[in-house]
Amino acid sequence: EYRHGVGEVVWQVPGGLAAPGEDLQAAGLRELLEETGYAPATVDDETVTYLGAVWDNPGFGVAISHLYRVRGLAPAAVTNHDHGEYVTFAWVAPAWLKEAVLSGEIKDRVVVAAVAYLLLRGEL
């Protein structure tokens, strides 16, 4: 997705804001569906796992990104991007993902944190 602040197309994971009172897992699954058109066939402890959280920018506020690993994805809907949001998504190999983080091609803190959580859990 193109990010004006850095003037680049940035590799990111699906994400967005939870509505007031919305369950965080439900919000994450909603954003995944809206941005990719994919959803897990079932939602249980095997398909959706909470990885952890990362501060968005602790120097400016208290926003936190909560990270989930989702498996068993299948096409479920047409994407529904926000106005002005131009997103392309791609499946990437784990080896490519690790190299892209190490080389600095991926700089997004949420993606780097997700990769770290998955590596520490032995899942990547």
Asked if residue 109 is part of any domain, the answer here is no
Asked if residue 116 is part of any domain, the answer here is no
pLDDT band, very low/low/confident/very high, at 5 (cuts 50, 70, 90): very high
* pLDDT number for residue 81: 67
- Write a three-state SS string for 6-52: CCEECCCCCCCCCCCCCCHHHHHHHHHHHHHCEEECCCCCCCEEEEE
Asked if residue 69 is part of any domain, the answer here is yes
- Residues of the domain holding 22: 2-91
Asked if residue 104 is part of any domain, the answer here is no
Asked if residue 50 is part of any domain, the answer here is yes
What does the angle CA 47 – CA 24 – CA 79 come to, to the nearest 5 degrees?
A: 70
Asked if residue 10 is part of any domain, the answer here is yes
With 0.85 as the threshold, say if the pTM is over it. yes
Total domains in the fold of the chain: 1
Report pLDDT digits (tens) over 67-121: 999 999 999 988 776 676 677 889 999 999 999 999 999 999 999 999 999 999 9
Asked if residue 118 is part of any domain, the answer here is no
CATH code at 57? 3.90.79.10
Report pLDDT digits (tens) over 20-75: 999 999 999 999 999 899 999 999 999 999 999 999 989 999 999 999 999 999 99
Asked if residue 82 is part of any domain, the answer here is yes
Residue for token pair 């690790």: 98
